[in-house]
Amino acid sequence: MSDITRADVAHLARLARLAVTDDELDVFSGQLDAILDTVGRVSDIPDDVPPTTHVAPLTNVLRPDEPAPSLTREAALAGAPEAEEGRFRVPRILGESQ
Amino acid sequence: MSELTRLSAAEIARRVQARELSSVEVTRAHLDRIEAVDGSLNAFLHVDRDGALAAAAAVDDEIAAGTVRGPLAGVPVAVKDNMATADMPTTCASRILEGWRPPYDATVVTRLREGGLVPLGKTNLDEFAMGGSNENSAFGAVRNPWDASRVSGGSSGGSAAATAAGEAPLALGSDTGGSIRQPGAFTGLVGVKPTYGTVSRYGLVAFSSSLDQIGTFGRSVLDAAMLHEVIGGHDPADQTSIDAPLPPVVEAALAGARGDLAGVRVGVVSELSGEGNQPGVLTAFTDAVRVLSDLGAEVVEVSCPSFTYSVPAYYLIAPSEASSNLARFDAMRYGLRVGDDGTRSTDEVMSLTRETGFGPEVKRRIMIGTHALSAGSYDALYGKAQKARTLIVRDFAAAFEDCDVLVSPTVPTTAFPIGDRVDDPVAMYLADLCTIPANLAGNAGISVPCGLSADDGLPVGLQVMAPALADDRAYRVAAAYELARDTSSGTPFAATIPDPVVLENA
Amino acid sequence: MTSTVDAAPYTVEEVCERFDPVMGLEVHVELNTATKMFCGCRNEFGAEPNTHVCPVCLGLPGSLPRVNARAVESAVRIGLALDCQVRERSGFARKNYFYPDMPKNFQISQYDDPIVFDGHLDVPLDDGTTWRVEIERAHMEEDTGKSLHMGGATGRIHGASYSLLDYNRAGVPLIEIVTRPIVGAGVRAPEIARAYVSALRDVIKGLGVSDVRMDQGSMRCDANVSLMPRGTTEFGTRTETKNVNSLRSVERAVRYEMGRHAGVLLSGGTITQETRHFDEQSGTTSAGRPKETFADYRFFPEPDLVPIVPSTAWIDELRSGLPERPWERRARIQTEWGLSDEELRDLVNAGALDLVADTVEAGAPAESARSWWVSYLTQQANTAGVELAELAITPADVARVIALVAEGTLTNKLARQVVDGVLAGEGAPDEVVAGRGLAVVSDDSALTAAVDEALAAQPAVAEKIRAGKTKAAGAIVGAVMKATRGQADAARVQSLVLERVAAGG
């Protein structure tokens, strides 16, 4: 049995970058709890069953290292909420890259 | 309603290519039909009247000059709005992508254009294809042409309603857990989920990459097969695309229509064909199985015990992959941006945008997936779901040792009333019981209408499943059944789909 | 004093009286493939922003990755050169975290089945010994875009009011090479860290799969350091220092972190597991912004890419095509040239080995080649404050100069002037000879005339020579050398002087 609390939902929402509201914490904790109770049934499956990650019987699908056309810069930036100096403009970044 | 919007795609193609009818005429008829009925159906999110008429005129010119691009040249088609189109917005029915215009066409869209088909517009869906009722669209639910108070099914509800209502003779959908077959069943259409890897996903906005498969809607098995051959086949832009010839589905549809299933072993999946179905659904299904038997098929009962894991496994794998696939919607490079007041950080703007831009079902699934993949839960949830997938693959393999195809009802119920299940995600999820196994195993499945439920007079779907790369078997059985069904009733089933305008006025 | 203030670093020697350092080095190498890891955009440094981007590397909805065959091949070759095993079946995985320079908000990487694993690199140290560094794994992944931080005082991330993103680098193929913990290095830990990165750079350079330019970011090192009290075996809490972009910085960063850890631990504090940033200017590290939540990357198999199952035949083919590795080359050169261990070490330490070997390959005798590089050219490099290899002269140029000396066209003194000309950018050696008019004056009639002229100008000296004081000939030789602007062979002039005097000139 799962037991998803408001704090768990808040944690998941933070990981997933969702600024959930206080009301949503209540609604989602109940719903996620119910869903996890249903899907948790897979825990019956024995550990020695191998996982299936891909269903198509394919291996070694590779592309030759040959250049293909890129987008024009205009096309690349066309959907940007904001652009400046040929670059995507974004709000200030906190913290360094990983 | 114009007679032109009731023609089969095969018939439109024949007439246009024989120059008995112009593509412009037939395209205009469908555009007019959209104008007349879509206000009530809400099947389309975008209609490109000018683009469609221009494309149709170009095809007419080519045909006049002696060039026919392909078997469906000149036929209008509707495209689910989760496939990239360079000349139309691609929104996935989400606020977060409202108005976004991709700088490229999905491979299937390129193939439609190369085949001389005429894209009419983009159809409504559950947001990011997450749902089974189309109620999760940010732009409103789609109504079922059979009963405007009912859902059209989902997630490809717009494509289904459009095809059923004569707004388009054909449509593309995507099927992750039943999103073509289920709305096909709810609206009385043929809906096809091809073998995973046989139709390119390049340009399909990913929901669950290991399950998503583009497929077709038609009002007949042959129409669906013809469209399938236009979009199918290997594509180097999708490295999960299988480099093998597409199974001969049109040939199989034609062969099936000779009405002989002698030597075909049909397995009825006992786990999907029993008490869990509505009585009217079960009766229609049992009648359909009897028809198959009458056509010479050998019908046996098979058990696939692991199919009981399919809903739990699906609702772990799909949200897990979705939580990752949808991470890119972050307000940085495209789409909605909310809360950028010059002081907030990227993290804050991302979180506010995603909170505002995603609907509740999408958020639920992102959080479930985030949970299932997190360090403390991975082994017990996501890892176990992948093991469940192995068991389901094994059950199919064993069943297909014994049978050429497997059958079940497509959905345990008929189309339910709009609003009925919105607050109960678990009940909504259980409706996918019959369709999910084929997605988890990657094999082919077709839903073909098998009459109306005695409970409510709404259409019921017969699901025919075939092994991977043997889609032709399902087509043959579905086509044979379709012919027998129409012969016995005396009226083509497609002709019995009610006119939504009439409903609206009733 | 609060614990957030860095304790004064101890020296490495002081640290190692109490602790044993443990290091783990993660090196990222950008491959020099023609295209990116998962799309056909060009992999090219320094292009106009956002001109080498497409739906795939911008992470646009609907796009799908396509693995670059050359990148896989390069990864396997790097693995083989590091004596790694090649995994029978390996796959890609998604590493999920949000960051604006990463268009999909996940990085396609490899998780528990990296393409190559379990190798080692024998690293030459300054004293001529080698240290074996065990390689845990090397895996393929994609690089991120680049951010410009705007509106702040210094262009740095802190204090900026917004950022501008360029995704040309997003999706460039990276190989991450991860060592096993390096234990037992003691006071030599900083040196070993530098020597390892240097040796790895040489191996990868030899393979030709990367530019391995630390200054341009095509090779980057993260150094994990922890301390454990001497005599214990349980690793302490580690820190990971990033932004270490020169060989010297690798050594300094490790040295600084060892000292800092010791300071914290000896004052009763505890080390926080964190990412730290190395500052080139001060030689110190500083903590990044603390993470609000424990990093949970939610790795899972990349559903859009299928497994890689290299065939034995292909691996064998790649193995047989590997170039000679630096240590193999060194051993061969030592034998061929008959060098002592000490001579070899001097060559290696001067960074001259490859240059000398290439010069020999271009036709020069080993002894002359070695002499040029370790003496005159090393002096020039020191004067200019650059690495020997950065001098604007190629081994082929040096070989040509040596040949010109051997054939008598240049004296050693003239040869140095020619080298100066090449270094000054005046062109290839023959162009400098022509441009500066530096060839030896070997025309005897011209020289004879000059000698006669000098003897006539100094009759007293001529008389002394005639009287048998041959030492006096030096003055005449000097005058002739001056008249020919140094381009005559002084020995030849000397004998001509004596000849002319004897002949009664």
C164 contacts A85? CB cut-off 8 A: yes
* C147–A contact, CB cutoff 8 A: yes
Residue C338, both tokens: 């008959």
Residue C233 has a CB neighbour count (10 Å cut-off) of 7
- Antiparallel, parallel or unpaired: β B76-80 and B213-218: unpaired
Query: B401: buried, middle or exposed (CB in 10 Å: 19+, 13-18, 0-12)?
Result: exposed
Chain C residue with CA closest to A51: the answer is: C301
B contact test, residue of A45, A93, A94 with most B CBs within 10 A: A45
B205 contacts C62? CB cut-off 8 A: yes
| Greatest mean pLDDT among B182-191, C289-298, C484-493 | B182-191
Of A37-51, B230-244, C230-244, C341-355, give the lowest mean pLDDT range: C341-355
Q: Using the 8-state DSSP alphabet, how is residue C186 labeled?
A: G
pTM, full prediction = 0.89
Paired strand residues for C229: C19
Distances (CA, A) of A72 to A80, A88, B103, B152, B502: 14, 14, 10, 40, 50
Amino acid sitting at position B89: P
Residues 184 through 213 of chain C touching chain A, CB cutoff 8 Å? none
Residues 6+ apart with CB under 8 A from C468: none
Distances (CA, A) of C257 to B225, C133, C232, C237, C290: 67, 20, 20, 12, 18
Tell me the three state secondary structure of residue B216: strand
What is the rounded CA–CA span in Å between residue C193 and residue C202?
Answer: 14
Chain A residue with CA closest to C103: the answer is: A88
Residue C248, both tokens: 């010297």
| Interface confidence: ipTM more than 0.95 | yes
What are the two backbone dihedrals, phi and then psi, of residue C149, each rounded to the nearest 5 degrees? -95, 125
Residue A46 has a CB neighbour count (10 Å cut-off) of 8
Q: Look at residues B127, B105, B123, B122 and name the one whose alpha carbon lies nearest to residue B114.
A: B105
What is the rounded CA–CA span in Å between residue C43 and residue B40?
Answer: 51
A62 contacts C40? CB cut-off 8 A: no
> What local confidence, expressed as pLDDT, does residue B14 receive?
98
Q: Which residues in chain A are contacts of B103 at CB distance < 8 A?
A: 71, 75-76, 78-79
Per-residue pLDDT reduced to its tens digit, C55-69: 999 999 999 999 999
> What local confidence, expressed as pLDDT, does residue B1 receive?
56
- Rounded to an integer, the average pLDDT of B101-120 is 98
> What local confidence, expressed as pLDDT, does residue B504 receive?
54
Alpha helix ranges (H) inside B245-345: 249-256, 279-294, 310-325
Residue B404 pLDDT > 80? yes
* C104–B contact, CB cutoff 8 A: yes
> What local confidence, expressed as pLDDT, does residue B207 receive?
98
> What local confidence, expressed as pLDDT, does residue C7 receive?
45
> What local confidence, expressed as pLDDT, does residue A2 receive?
61
Question: What is the DSSP annotation of A1-40?
Answer: -----HHHHHHHHHHTT----HHHHHHHHHHHHHHHHHHG
C62 contacts B102? CB cut-off 8 A: yes
* B389–A contact, CB cutoff 8 A: yes
Question: Which of B174, B179, B323, B453 is an active site residue?
Answer: B179
Helical pair B310-325 and A22-39, crossing angle rounded to 10 deg:
140
What is the rounded CA–CA span in Å between residue B248 and residue B471?
Answer: 8
Give the closest-approach CA distance of C278 to chain A in angstroms: 13
B80 flagged as catalytic: yes
Length of chain B: 506
Per-residue pLDDT reduced to its tens digit, B6-22: 999 999 999 999 999 99
Average pLDDT, rounded, for chain B: 96
Q: Which residues in chain A are contacts of C53 at CB distance < 8 A?
A: 70-71, 76
- Rounded to an integer, the average pLDDT of B389-411 is 98
Question: What is the DSSP annotation of B440-456?
Answer: HHT-EEEEEEEEE-TTT
Alpha helix ranges (H) inside C362-489: 366-371, 378-384, 395-406, 412-423, 429-436, 444-457, 459-466, 473-483
Paired strand residues for C29: C175, C219
Residue B421 pLDDT > 90? no
Chain B residue with CA closest to A63: the answer is: B236
Residue A11 pLDDT > 90? yes
| Greatest mean pLDDT among B420-424, C190-194, C421-425 | C190-194
B contact test, residue of C54, C105, C296 with most B CBs within 10 A: C105
Check the CA dihedral B204-B210-B215-B217 and report its sign.
negative
Confidence band of A97 (pLDDT split at 50, 70, 90) = low
Chain B residue with CA closest to C297: the answer is: B374
Question: What is the DSSP annotation of C15-43?
Answer: HHHHEEEEEEEEEEEE---SB-SSSSSB-
Of B321-335, B356-370, C194-208, C483-497, give the lowest mean pLDDT range: C483-497
Residue B292, both tokens: 């198959």
- Rounded to an integer, the average pLDDT of B228-235 is 98
> Which of A58, A73, A76 minimises the CB distance to C306?
A58
Question: Which of B22, B23, B80, B273 is an active site residue?
Answer: B80
> Which of B327, B366, B426 minimises the CB distance to A38?
B426
Paired strand residues for C33: none
B102 contacts C64? CB cut-off 8 A: no
Residue B500 pLDDT > 80? no
What B46-51 contacts at long range (C-beta under 8 Å, 24+ apart), as own/partner pairs, is B46/B81, B46/B88, B46/B89, B46/B91, B46/B121, B46/B122, B47/B120, B47/B121, B48/B87, B48/B88, B48/B119, B48/B120, B48/B121, B51/B87, B51/B88, B51/B119
A17 contacts B351? CB cut-off 8 A: yes
Query: C1: buried, middle or exposed (CB in 10 Å: 19+, 13-18, 0-12)?
Result: exposed
What is the rounded CA–CA span in Å between residue B10 and residue A97?
Answer: 55
Q: Look at residues B27, B115, B135, B112 and name the one whose alpha carbon lies nearest to residue B70.
A: B115
- Rounded to an integer, the average pLDDT of C198-204 is 95
Alpha helix ranges (H) inside B65-166: 107-114, 157-164
Give the closest-approach CA distance of C12 to chain B in angstroms: 37
Q: Look at residues C29, C465, C132, C209 and name the one whose alpha carbon lies nearest to residue A65.
A: C209
What is the rounded CA–CA span in Å between residue B216 and residue B242?
Answer: 18
Spatial contact of C274 and C287, defined as CB atoms under 8 Å apart:
yes
Residues B225, B227, B231, CA angle at the centre, nearest 5°? 115
Residue B155, preceding peptide bond in cis (omega within 30° of 0): yes
Average pLDDT, rounded, for chain C: 90
Paired strand residues for C23: C182, C225
Residue C14 pLDDT > 60? yes
pLDDT above 70 coverage of chain B, percent: 99
Query: Quick one: how many helices (H) and strands (E) in chain C?
Result: 17, 15
Confidence band of C295 (pLDDT split at 50, 70, 90) = confident
Of B32-36, B404-408, C487-491, give the lowest mean pLDDT range: C487-491
A97 contacts C306? CB cut-off 8 A: no
Residue C293 pLDDT > 60? no
What is the rounded CA–CA span in Å between residue A30 and residue B217?
Answer: 37
What is the rounded CA–CA span in Å between residue C400 and residue C364?
Answer: 8
Give the closest-approach CA distance of A30 to chain C in angstroms: 23
B159 flagged as catalytic: no
Tell me the three state secondary structure of residue B208: coil
- How many CB pairs below 8 A link B and C? 105
What is the rounded CA–CA span in Å between residue C355 and residue C369?
Answer: 9
| pLDDT greater at residue B505 or residue A50 | A50
Per-residue pLDDT reduced to its tens digit, C104-142: 999 999 999 999 999 999 998 888 789 999 999 999 999
Average pLDDT, rounded, for chain A: 93
Of B451-465, C237-251, C283-297, give the lowest mean pLDDT range: C283-297
What is the rounded CA–CA span in Å between residue B72 and residue B229?
Answer: 10
> What local confidence, expressed as pLDDT, does residue C458 receive?
87
Confidence band of B422 (pLDDT split at 50, 70, 90) = confident
Spatial contact of B127 and B358, defined as CB atoms under 8 Å apart:
yes
Q: Which residues in chain B are contacts of C165 at CB distance < 8 A?
A: 332-333
> What local confidence, expressed as pLDDT, does residue C1 receive?
34
Residues 36 through 95 of chain B touching chain A, CB cutoff 8 Å? none
> What local confidence, expressed as pLDDT, does residue A96 receive?
60
What are the two backbone dihedrals, phi and then psi, of residue B157, each rounded to the nearest 5 degrees? -65, -35
Tell me the three state secondary structure of residue B173: strand
> What local confidence, expressed as pLDDT, does residue C155 receive?
64
B179 flagged as catalytic: yes
Q: Which residues in chain B are contacts of C103 at CB distance < 8 A?
A: 328, 333
Q: Given phi > 0 = left and psi -120 to 50 = alpha, else beta, which region is B303?
A: beta
- Rounded to an integer, the average pLDDT of B174-202 is 98
A96 contacts C305? CB cut-off 8 A: no
